[in-house]
Structure 1
Amino acid sequence: MTQDERVDGRHPEDADEMPWAEVTPDAARRLLVAAVEAFAARGYHATTTRDIASRAGMSPAALYIHYKTKEELLLRISRIGHEKALRILRRAADAEGTPTERLAEAVRSFVRWHAGHHTTARVVQYELDSLGDEHRPEIVALRRESDAAVREIIEDGVAKGEFQVPDVPGTTVAILSLCIDVARWFNTQGRRTPDEVGVFYADLVLRMVGAAPRA
């Protein structure tokens, strides 16, 4: 998460999480955070390694100690971001409860992450095509796992008569696209917190799949 991303409204499980804590040493983490900010502001292709190093307060030569190429930085950002997103969806899919409850939690948590980490999420979700043929398949595979987690919940809801969905694959794509797009427009100065946006989107999605109104 970068400095411009708000932390209020985050899920309790994320409250004590240090942004990019899995990236070590500290210099590598600083460079990765700087890369996220630069890619979000200028786009991957318009960003130079000098831009990234400057944002991190380091020399361009220092970047190559930790990352061989600019693409390696993007791959690391994409991998970590997609793995976190997948954990959110998988946790909801594997939880106890009805399909309606699990789908609501999946959407609520997924949207909350994209709003609360909107700068990071824009890079993670919208720079896929900037990865080369060697690295793109790894991220595509993670996306397919996320798709499968949501599709599994919807299929269960249809089988149990809770959802009215004639096209499960198409509905899955629509739901994920709706949630991901929050990263494009979320504004920290807006009237809703990430958690409130998550609740709002969960209700929208339940209506989309024809779930019975919740009490």
Structure 2
Amino acid sequence: MPVVSESSPSPDARTRLARAAVEAFSTRGFHGTTTRDISTAAGMSPAALYVHHRSKEELLFELAHVGHLRVLEMVRASVATSDDPVEQLGTLVEDFVRDHALVHTGARVINYELAALSAEHLAEVVAIRHDIDEVVRDVIDRGVGAGVFVTPDPHMTALAVLSLGIDVARWFRDEGRWSPDEVAVHYRLLALRMVGAVG
């Protein structure tokens, strides 16, 4: 989910604020982070955040909204690579998990700080999350219909698959035992076992 590119040269003020917010929210939590913390980490004056965002909550919403839309695009693209539900689910899970490992700090913020959003902003993000869930559920439903998946509750299985992938952002560390690719390949195998993939 890179909500902001980590490699763009000389980032603009909004990008610097976004990067600083991700780091601050990930270490202190939304409620433990002040607007001054974010602005200072971005190398800007304490009031700089308000030039670009009405509030700290609006900045979190922008991060979550952009990040979730990007993930929705990614899972749709993963499914579009094949007509076979087994391959679709495998590719989707591999891409989803690799992404959550590669950008674990940002993914952790946009998945675990949602309670700080206003009701209106939360509803917008939840709607995108529902769309992501629907993509996964549709693949599983089609696999069950084609006789290549065996699971009594495709909806619950879709939620379980996504929950496992999201949680990678919580525990993954760059200096850890496994690479993003290793985790992604292993989770692909786990997901296909969860749906009882046949063949």
Q: TM-score, normalization: structure 2?
A: 0.94
Paired residue for 1:161, among 142, 147, 152? 147
State the match for 1:66 in structure 2.
52
For these two proteins, the number of residue pairs brought into alignment is 197
Structure 1's 20 and 65: CA in aligned 2 closer, same or farther, altered over 3 A?
Answer: farther
Deviation at 1:18, TM superposition (A): 3.5
Deviation at 1:95, TM superposition (A): 2.9
Kindly indicate whether the alpha-carbon contact (under 8 Å) linking 1:20 and 1:29 is maintained by their aligned counterparts in 2. no
For residue 47 of structure 2, give the secondary structure of its aligned residue in structure 1: helix
Q: TM-score, normalization: structure 1?
A: 0.87
Kindly indicate whether the alpha-carbon contact (under 8 Å) linking 1:44 and 1:127 is maintained by their aligned counterparts in 2. yes
Distance 2:48 2:88 in 1: 45
Kindly provide the amino acid, as one letter, of the partner of residue 67 in structure 1: H
For residue 165 of structure 1, give the secondary structure of its aligned residue in structure 2: coil
State the match for 2:114 in structure 1.
128
State the match for 2:18 in structure 1.
32
Distance 1:171 1:73 in 2: 33
Kindly provide the amino acid, as one letter, of the partner of residue 133 in structure 2: D
Paired residue for 1:137, among 88, 112, 123? 123
Distance 1:40 1:110 in 2: 20
State the match for 1:11 in structure 2.
none
Unpaired runs of at least 5, structure 1:
3-16
Kindly indicate whether the alpha-carbon contact (under 8 Å) linking 1:151 and 1:169 is maintained by their aligned counterparts in 2. yes
Deviation at 1:68, TM superposition (A): 1.2
Distance 2:89 2:96 in 1: 10
For residue 174 of structure 2, give the secondary structure of its aligned residue in structure 1: coil
For residue 85 of structure 1, give the secondary structure of its aligned residue in structure 2: helix
Distance 2:76 2:119 in 1: 27
The equivalences for 1:102-113 within 5 A come to 102-113=88-99
State the match for 1:96 in structure 2.
82
* Structure 1 residue ranges (4+ consecutive) displaced by more than 3 angstroms after TM superposition: 17-21
Distance 1:205 1:131 in 2: 31
State the match for 2:191 in structure 1.
205
Unpaired runs of at least 5, structure 2:
none
Kindly indicate whether the alpha-carbon contact (under 8 Å) linking 1:83 and 1:142 is maintained by their aligned counterparts in 2. yes
Deviation at 1:153, TM superposition (A): 0.4
What is the CA deviation profile of residues 2-44 of structure 1, one whole-angstrom value per residue up to 9, with x for unaligned ones? 8xxxxxxxxxxxxxx94497xxx70111001000000000000
Structure 1's 140 and 118: CA in aligned 2 closer, same or farther, altered over 3 A?
Answer: same
